[in-house]
Structure 1
């Protein structure tokens, strides 16, 4: 079979494989289009925190409904990842790559017409399902096309777009808060980038690794030759007969990987999503501006999260996955601990502590997507990413739902201490369980041998 794949190569011709290929325009285009999903996730989650500033008083919403609506999209992500990850492994990446965004467009438009909290909760839940479906689809596609030397940066870079989306949402919300019924336009606005992204994604082909895993080598080779060069070959892939069943995720070495990824991912997103969903309210408690000004500060914190992601992307292939993850957790925990210890400190110190947390959170954030895509084989990659995404979002949903209660009943300092403890737990678990996959071929990183 291997000789058949390479029959068109001869003599001194250099054959390109998926892992050895040079970065080209297709890889960049794929990464850009795939980043639309995390952009929308960051935008959708962040815009609701600002919209609730108008919706709450208008609907006389209590903390229960505020928490439910803030957490609804996260619950939806759990459902979407758990259901559509395995479906993506079964029917392929390409089809699901556009369907999920069409669902986001429809639900975003319907949000404009909601009349009560229950309707908004349902639509936010459905949007979350679509976002959760996109995580395993988009990240699997990028991982399965990316050259080894660029894999971490291309996959991790997708997560950086989450913060771009959140930053854009903060500034959109800042301006629309001055508009009557501005919250309707905030929630509708996510349909615009979703429409542009779904149009762009129609040009992306199916994953050659997935095609090969299904024994469709001729199609896989055709895709490779169209995307990485006419001398492309599948020689670096394991034989298609080597299968990893879905049940493998629930036992042995792969179960250990599921546990590790789920814990560190949860420890990353619980404090992060709580801050995003209720950022303006939290900043006001720290006296970092009041009213609409706090939303501008919220956007600047989002910018620091983005800077942290970029810094981590530059370091992850130099220092390795483990140190970027462990130290990222440890130092971001210190920033949160200071916020709990000194909530009345000088404003510049509060701002600095937020910046420290946001910048060093970049390491764990980019590895949320690098690790699960590297540590599982093609046959179950989307399923594993969906499973780990879903588990992490259960914790994030609980944290987001509990944040307004914690702020009201435990106080600001206790809430920050809890967030710091969660980040510290991430550092401890990572120190014991995180593997190093730097400079390792994808099929080797994903195997247990």
Structure 2
């Protein structure tokens, strides 16, 4: 097959350009974390003010996840077709609209519309951001740089808590509106920064377009050794579901679904749960909530630092095993044990964040350039359906089965995922270029040999 070869020295060093790309891309995760967690505070305030039922709480909490699911599915494919940079600007424009609609909502219907639009934008951003980071990263830093999406998510969640507490202490009855509106300001700043983002050289080459050699030397951190000129077959959706990608795609979809399913079962209602388990004032519940997000941000950052030293799969399976144990233990905590509740929730969520951090690089490394956004978009869509299901069903399960029954149900689903993860073994991706990973997958399918 005729190939296009990128003639530039392979580099494992970080450049300021790569750092800028990683930062601006990860700010999408910051907005994701801010928006997801600010709604937990909004629910805490709106429940008594609007006299919301359990079903309405679940609907508001899950609506953004529906938007995220569709956003990931639509824009994941779109970014492979029209490019990373174009999609990057469009999705934040939608976020600004969704944020404004939510902040000015006068009833539950308008709030649901705003949450859906904001969710659509967030879901769109994940496949674009992770694809860009992966395609610019040095192979020995790709795990860390893509893994930064997770600590940035929790930094956003932490900021949402701080902002909300400040607005609440002001005594303004519209504190929740200001908290939602603050995300719009951040989104506009990030959108302006993204106008300075370059298009991915890998995507340009895969589309058969020319890339300036000087730009490659300054921006592409590792050599794209051999990109096929016949890219059409690699852009067909059917290729993604072929035998070649069956194992990695199954694992990526499974663990993204499970991680968001587990996280969303508790996260969206954590301030409410904290009140039920002994933190009786809104401020006390929010302060504890915010402190937990900050701890998770630190844990996720440390995990990201380890991703290029320890195999992604090992981190995911070990983290998931302990996640199940701690989550199951939470089922037997009563309302008179607030310290034990916080300790177990923190332990299980730390494990969940370790897993989530490792999934970010995994979800883009296995797939070719023209299907990378599609694969991550599919993973985003599936995971957010998990989040939507968990957010909507958890309060209903709690009413029908009780606290112990609801959390046990979550734990059983998690255990099934662990069994599947132990059975399936994809190729190793750490410290390999994206092209080397694809080559290993191809040889594996051709020979039927053992996985690396």
The residue that corresponds to 2:30 in the other structure is 39
The equivalent position to 2:75 in structure 1, one of 61, 84, 92, is: 84
The residue number in structure 2 matching 1:10 is: none
- Shift in alpha-carbon separation, 1:282–1:4, aligned structure 2, 3 A: closer
CA–CA distance in structure 1, aligned partners of residues 344 and 254 of structure 2? 24
C-alpha displacement at 1:2, in angstroms?
7.2
Q: 2:333 maps to what in 1?
A: 342
CA separation of 1:2/1:75 partners in 2, compared to 1, >3 Å: closer, same or farther? closer
Cα pair 2:17 2:218 within 8 Å, conserved: no
Q: Deviations over 1:78-114 (max 9, x none)?
A: 1111111111101100111111111111221222221
TM-fit CA distance, 1:254: 1.8
8 Å contact kept, 2:100–2:114: no
The CA distance in 1 between the partners of 2:174 and 2:88, in whole Å, is: 33
- CA, structure 1 residues 274+342, in 2 after alignment: closer, same or farther (shift >3 Å)? closer
1:212 to 201, 205, 210: 205
Query: What count of residue pairs does the alignment treat as equivalent?
Result: 435
Aligned match of 2:121? 130
User: C-alpha displacement at 1:257, in angstroms?
Assistant: 2.6
What is the SS of the residue equivalent to 1:204?
A: coil
Q: CA deviation at 1:434?
A: 4.4
Matches of residues 215-230 of structure 1 in structure 2 within 5 Å?
A: 215-216=208-209, 218-219=210-211, 221-227=213-219
Aligned with 1:198 (options 186, 191, 197): 191
Which residue does 2:142 correspond to in 1?
151
Contact 1:264 1:429 in 2 (8 A): no
**Offset at residue 139 of structure 1 (A):** 0.7
302, 319, 334: which one pairs with 1:311? Answer: 302
TM-score under structure 1 normalisation? Answer: 0.91
Distance 2:5 2:30 in 1: 41
CA gap 1:203/1:284 in 2 versus in 1, 3 angstroms: same
- Flag structure 2 segments of 5+ consecutive residues without an equivalent: 443-452
Aligned residue among 329, 351, 364 for 1:360: 351
Q: 2:228 aligns with which of 239, 246, 264?
A: 239
The answer on whether the counterparts of 1:88 and 1:382 sit within 8 Å (CA) in structure 2 is: yes
Where in structure 2 are the equivalents of 1:385-424 lying within 5 Å? 385-424=376-415
SS at match of 1:311: helix
Question: 1:3 offset after TM fit, Å?
Answer: 8.9
- Structure 2 SS opposite 1:189: helix
Compared CA separation, residues 308 and 422, structure 1 to 2 (3 A): farther
Stretches of structure 1 that go unaligned for 5 or more consecutive residues are: 7-14
2:3–2:227 contact (8 Å) kept in structure 1: no
User: Considering only aligned residues, what root-mean-square deviation do their CA atoms show, in Å?
Assistant: 2.1
Partner of residue 96, structure 2: 105
Deviations 1:101-155 (A, max 9, x none): 1111122122222111111111111111111111111110110000100000000
Report Cα offsets for 1:282-329 as digits up to 9, x if no partner.
122322444321111111221232122122112222221111000111
Using the TM superposition, name which of 168-177 and 72-81 deviates more: 168-177
